Amino acid sequence: MSPRDRFSLVGHADMAFMNPLGEDELVTLLEPIGLEPRARTLDLGGGRGDLSRLLSTRWGCIAVSVDSSPAASDLARERTRGLSVEVHTLRAEDYLATHRPRDLSLVSVLGAMHAFGPGLPGYQRADRQLAPLTSHILFADVVALGRRGARAFEVATAAERSEER
């Protein structure tokens, strides 16, 4: 296991979704989408497969979890065994380029926005790449750090993203 993988898995160990959002918060965000059984979803930066597992067990979705970490992907495969979850060990952009997914009900990027670059340009790039794939994109990066943390980590706010559209 690489030092980065170990750091990420240890640092996120107490987080149910390797993200500050809890299951109740994610369900609150996802319920309005109206996900139906067999809906196809894509989780970029899927880590241990936690969100894909929730999507499969709660809504009956067919989920794809993509993470660049072999260690996280191995855990995802273990945690989602027997569910309608496919796990890929690839960088987000490599997955998008090689698999060319279409007609997805949801694309989520929880804690993996760095795959698209820093700050507002990264969010704009993610929007451009992901919008043609789905009508619902869930971005949730460092949500618990507040305004100062968002600036330090170059997280674009929803208002900033809306201004650029």
Band (pLDDT 50/70/90 cuts) for residue 142 is low
CA–CA dist 39, 52 (Å, integer): 12
DSSP per position, 16-40: TTSSS--HHHHHHHHGGG---TT-E
Strands 106-110 and 137-140: what pairing? Answer: parallel
Q: Is the pLDDT of residue 151 over 70?
A: no
H-run or E-run covering 66:
strand 62-67
Q: Are 17 and 110 in contact (CB under 8 A)?
A: yes
Quick check: helix, strand or coil at residue 12? coil
Taking residues 66-80, what's their average pLDDT? 93
pTM given for the model: 0.82
Identify the pLDDT of residue 63. Answer: 98
Taking residues 136-156, what's their average pLDDT? 68
Band (pLDDT 50/70/90 cuts) for residue 70 is very high
Identify the pLDDT of residue 143. Answer: 52
Average pLDDT, the chain: 83
pLDDT above 70: percentage of residues in the chain: 73
Identify the pLDDT of residue 89. Answer: 96
Give the Å distances, CA to CA, from 151 to 110, 127, 145, 148, 165. 18, 20, 10, 5, 21
